Structure 1
Amino acid sequence: MSHFKYHVFFCCNQRGEGETCCNDAGATAAQTYAKDRVAELQLKGAGKVRINKAGCMDRCDNGPVVVIYPEGVWYSYVDHEDIEEIIQEHLLHGRVVDRLRI
């Protein structure tokens, strides 16, 4: 059994000027938002949810991206409203958000 019910990785990679990357699209702010919301909702900790930063996940053209394990569901998002929808639907209710899935 996994230590966490869900392990969430936000690509927060920063590439050089002129190169497409998730961090230029607000990935670090999105990861911080998700981490804070998961804590507020008391979803943080063993047997619950872990929010992590990740380096390049090689999906730059789909970015910014986040992946949730153990299912291995990949999402792209635009803003905090999209992240909130992922938290509410996937992390709270176990439902994949098809409109954001890549």
Structure 2
Amino acid sequence: MRTHTRHVFMCVGPRCTEDGIQAQAMFELMGEKIDARPDLRIKRTRTHCMVACRNQGPILVVYPEGVWYRCVDEAALERIVVEHLVGGREVDELIFHRLGEGDTCPLENEDA
């Protein structure tokens, strides 16, 4: 295992995208983006289901920050990699939960 300063988990379970196919593709793309930057010290791990996406996944979690992102498309993934993992700035509009800050935020379009 290579030395790392952050650990990124991404759900590739069947609930976030149809049969998890797009989620797996996003996980692989994230690996390519991380590997293209050898100075990054990022460990990535796929998970099955984090039961938090409500079909708006895949979910991507960055530790040690404990930031939970909705990573719904390639543009979101690119922003998370470039802005957070490379630049050290969290992408606030994609965050739906932070470790230690209570319950997850409801979706804007979710029925009450």
Q: Bin the TM-score by the shorter chain.
A: 0.7 to 0.9
- Is contact 1:77-1:100 (8 Å) kept? yes
> What percent identity do the matched residue pairs reach?
35
If the length of structure 1 is used for normalisation, what is the TM-score?
0.80
- The total of aligned residue pairs comes to 91
Question: What's the RMSD between the two structures over aligned residues?
Answer: 1.6
Alignment partners' CA distance in 2, 1:50 and 1:12: 16
If the length of structure 2 is used for normalisation, what is the TM-score?
0.73
Q: Any gaps of 5 or more consecutive residues in structure 1?
A: 15-20
Query: What is the DSSP-based 3-state SS (H/G/I as helix, E as strand, rest coil) of the residue aligned with 1:13?
Result: coil
More helix, by proportion: 1
Please tell me whether residue 86 in structure 1 is matched to residue 80 in structure 2: yes
Moved over 2 A (4+): none
Task: Pick 1 or 2: higher relative contact order, CA cutoff 8 A, min separation 6.
Answer: 1
Q: Any gaps of 5 or more consecutive residues in structure 2?
A: 97-112
Query: 1:1-102 to 2 correspondence within 5 Å?
Result: 4-14=4-14, 21-24=15-18, 26-43=22-39, 48-61=41-54, 62-102=56-96
Query: What is the DSSP-based 3-state SS (H/G/I as helix, E as strand, rest coil) of the residue aligned with 2:9?
Result: strand
